[in-house]
Amino acid sequence: MPQTIDAAFARDFLLRLHAAASARDPDAVASLCAEDIVWEDPAAPHTLRGREAVRAFHRDIMFVAMPDTRIELIEGPYLALDGSGVAARLRITGTMTGPLTPPGFAPTGEGLEFETAEFSRFDNGLLAHHTVVLNMLDVARQIGAVPRAGSVADRVGVWMQHVSAFWVRARSD
C-alpha cells in the first residue's frame, strides 16, 4: 500500500538516494528500494522489476558507463497533492569512460550532462515505483549515437529519411 509522505521525508530520502548514486554504490541504491520495486528508466534496457534488477542496472550499466556519476537536485522535491509521491528535477553529469551495454555504445571519454524529471512513490519508507524522464535524443547526440543538429551527418540523415519516406509512400500507393 502506498505511503503518505511529507516534505521532510521526501528531502531526506532523495538526499540519501542521490548520495548513494553519486557514490556509485549499487548496493546502497538497491537498499533504498522495496523488494518489488518497479523502476522505469529510458537508460535501462527494459523496465526494472525488483531490487536485484535495480542493483544490477546501476552496477553493470550505469556506473560502468559513467563511473564518476554525479547527481544534483535542481528543483523540488514537489509533493503530490495526495501525499502519495514526489517529483524532482535533477542534473546528472559524468564522463563516459566505459561502454554503454546494452546496446553496446563505445566509451567516448567525453563528459555528459543531462537533466531528468523523476517521479517516485514509496511503501514502508522504501522506493516502490520510480519513473525517470529524460531527453534521450540529447544524450544520444552527446555520445555520438546521433549526429549533432546541423552537422553534415545530420543533413545526410535527414536526406536519407526523405528517401526512405518516399519509398514507404510509394509502396502504399
What is the pLDDT confidence band of residue 42, given thresholds at 50, 70 and 90?
A: very high
For residues 54 and 3, the model is more confident at 54
CATH architecture of 7-142: Roll (3.10)
Contact assessment for residue 122 and residue 128, using Cβ atoms and an 8 Å cutoff: yes
Tell me how many helices (H) and strands (E) the chain has: 6, 6
pLDDT at 2 (0 to 100): 63
- Ranges of beta strands (E only) in 51-110 are 70-79, 85-95
pLDDT at 31 over 90: yes
CA distances from 134 to 8, 31, 59, 90, 97 (A): 26, 24, 20, 10, 21
pLDDT in tens, 64-75: 999 999 999 999
pLDDT at 110 (0 to 100): 95
pLDDT at 1 (0 to 100): 56
Mean pLDDT of the chain: 93
Q: What CA–CA distance (Å, rounded) separates 53 from 164?
A: 38
Burial class of residue 35 in the structure, from the number of CB atoms within 10 Å of its CB (0-12 exposed, 13-18 middle, 19+ buried): exposed
Question: How are the residues of the chain apportioned to helix, strand and coil, as percentages rounded to the nearest 5?
Answer: 40, 30, 30
pLDDT at 8 (0 to 100): 93
Within a 10 A sphere around the Cβ of 90, how many other Cβ atoms? 20
pLDDT in tens, 112-158: 999 999 999 999 999 999 999 999 999 999 999 888 888 898 899 89
Q: What is the pTM of this model?
A: 0.86
pLDDT at 93 (0 to 100): 95
Contact assessment for residue 75 and residue 89, using Cβ atoms and an 8 Å cutoff: yes
Contact assessment for residue 20 and residue 32, using Cβ atoms and an 8 Å cutoff: yes
